[in-house]
Structure 1
Amino acid sequence: MAVTAATATGRSLLEQHGFIPAADGSSYRPRDGLDERGLLGVVTAAEAHAYADGLSARVDLGIPTPPDIPGAARRSSAATPSPRTAPSARRRAR
């Protein structure tokens, strides 16, 4: 996982939440030893903090969202079969 910040305020915010500058100097990584729950916690806390400070944040988990999934092709009304109705049973007179 890598995290980037476009401003000094964003970089400071990431460091406040325990993110460590990566060797390339342009991104951050979470501190070592976090399990999935801990990782989710620091990402969520940093995102909420960013929004509270008026910074935009984007978290991309690599999971497709509905806008990423193409819609199914629509069928024309002529191609849609009409529902069949069961014949009604006749009643016998006694």
Structure 2
Amino acid sequence: MDAVLPSGMTRRRVELRIVKPAFAWFARPTVTIDGVGHPAQWGTGTWAVPDEGTTALGVYLFNRAWRFGAASVTVTASDDVLEYRGGLLPVGPGRLRSV
């Protein structure tokens, strides 16, 4: 029998690898889960997603002047490791794919 978790807790986590582009122009990544933004860091981290169903997960980069490199994907139960790569230059979309 599974124990009941407190409100807001989840057992399902997705590993996200955020690769810094060569020309980041002082950009910082932000991860969005179902439209809610969360500040992130470069490198590998895990993110909690709802236990059931699909989840819209996205990443974009921003600096003090503009937002760029946006990419999103729908996470299903089979996705557990994702990798984000921003574009070579600070314009255009990034790539978010299952590894």
Both structures adopt the same fold (TM-score exceeding 0.5): no
Higher gyration radius (CA):
1
Q: Please give the TM-score of this superposition, normalised by the length of structure 1.
A: 0.32
Higher strand content, 1 or 2: 2
Q: Please give the TM-score of this superposition, normalised by the length of structure 2.
A: 0.31
Structure of higher RCO (CA pairs closer than 8 Å, 6+ residues apart): 2
